[in-house]
Amino acid sequence: QPGEITVGGVALHNHLLLAAGVLGTTGASLGRMLRLGAGGVVTKSIGPEPNPGHHGPCLVRTEGGLLNAMGLPNPSKEFVGEIEPLKDDPVVVSIYGKDPEDFKEVAGWFAETARGFELNVSCPHAAGYGAAIGTDPEMVLECTRAVASHGLPVWVKLTPNVTDITTIGLAAEKGGASAIVAVNTVRAMRISTELRRPVLGYRSGGLSGKAIFPVAVKCVWDLYEACSIPIIGCGGVSTANDVVEMMMAGAQAVEVGSAVVDDVRVFEQIARGLYSGDGVAAEEIVGVAHHA
């Protein structure tokens, strides 16, 4: 273990974070992931109103990953109580909204308990929220600025479903972001040939897991070249080698999502590979592949 590190203004126990959405719906499950070796945790995205989410099926396995259309289910302000017991822990609260005012309001509820915020401007299947904002540089800038006014670190999680992710990353940076998280899920769908209908209740959704790892590496690579703030890699990371690869592309830390669904002990497993005797010194490899 590296001892305490700071990434994007947030002190972490190591370079591995629980990604938003996965097991982030209760304080108990977030606490459990920290005890199981996560260096920090990101909550399920919280919005301005309680939301039941999309009708099912919401989560299906597919080759190389998971396909989801949860539909931003969350208890809104009620969630404040969930993370109160974790106010001394590295908890980053993921938030969403339809405009800068929404983002600022939701962030305000957590200003006393969160260590930082992750702006979800990248859900691929949320009408009016998510990618509708995250593909508009001006909106990203304004939402980031609005949340940054609370004085806590702001991470902005980007969608890979754009032609040029660097334009969005630069907008977040200009708005005062402390870090960029790349990436959210890749827009995708499957159809059951037997049932003759899409497998997801919402029809299409977002793909995560191994299948999107190369997509995420490329996004991290491009953002590292364009931006000056730290990049946090996310998308299909499941091994220590994946973490090293993300770091060589430019990530200072990584988030792990789908791999946790398969094995809640994945943080211990990755940390063993990453920090054992012949492991690499993380900071020394960030971006090295750019100089090759």
For binding to ligand RRO (CB under 6 A), which residues are involved?
Answer: 21, 45, 68-72, 120, 122-123, 184-185, 206
To ligand RRO, the closest distance from the beta carbon of 66 in angstroms equals 9
Q: Choose between 14 and 208: whose C-beta lies nearer to ligand RRO.
A: 208
Q: Known binder of ligand: residue 183?
A: yes
Q: Choose between 70 and 247: whose C-beta lies nearer to ligand RRO.
A: 70
Question: Which are the catalytic amino acids?
Answer: 123
Q: Choose between 69 and 244: whose C-beta lies nearer to ligand RRO.
A: 69
Q: Known binder of ligand: residue 68?
A: yes
Q: Known binder of ligand: residue 161?
A: no
Q: Choose between 8 and 21: whose C-beta lies nearer to ligand RRO.
A: 21
To ligand RRO, the closest distance from the beta carbon of 228 in angstroms equals 25
To ligand RRO, the closest distance from the beta carbon of 207 in angstroms equals 8
DSSP letters along the chain, please?
A: ---SEEETTEEESSSEEEPTTTT-SSHHHHHHHHHTT-SEEEPPPB-SS-B----S--EEEETTEEEE-----B-GGGGHHHHGGGTTS-EEEEE--SSHHHHHHHHHHTTTT-SEEEEE---TT-TTSTHHHHT-HHHHHHHHHHHHTTSS-EEEEEPS-SS-HHHHHHHHHHTT-SEEEE--PEEE--EETTTTEESBTTB-EEEESGGGHHHHHHHHHHHHHH-SS-EEEESS--SHHHHHHHHHHTEEEEEE-HHHHH-TTHHHHHHHHHHSTT---HHHHTTGGGG-
To ligand RRO, the closest distance from the beta carbon of 136 in angstroms equals 16
Q: Say how far apart CA 99 and CA 96 lie, in whole Å.
A: 9
Q: Known binder of ligand: residue 71?
A: yes
Per-residue b or e along 74-101, where b marks 16 or more CB atoms closer than 10 Å to that residue's CB:
bbebebbebbeebeebbbbbbbbbbebe
To ligand RRO, the closest distance from the beta carbon of 238 in angstroms equals 17
Q: Known binder of ligand: residue 72?
A: yes
> Which residue's beta carbon is nearest to the bound ligand RRO?
206
User: How distant is the alpha carbon of residue 230 from its chain centre?
Assistant: 14
Q: Choose between 100 and 206: whose C-beta lies nearer to ligand RRO.
A: 206
Q: Known binder of ligand: residue 238?
A: no
Question: In this structure, what is the dihedral angle of CA atoms 57, 61, 65, 70, given to the nearest 10 degrees?
Answer: 10
Binding site, annotated residues for FMN: 44-45, 120, 157, 183, 209, 235-236, 257-258
Binding site, annotated residues: 44-45, 68-72, 120, 157, 183-185, 209, 235-236, 257-258
Binding site, annotated residues for substrate: 44, 68-72, 120, 184-185
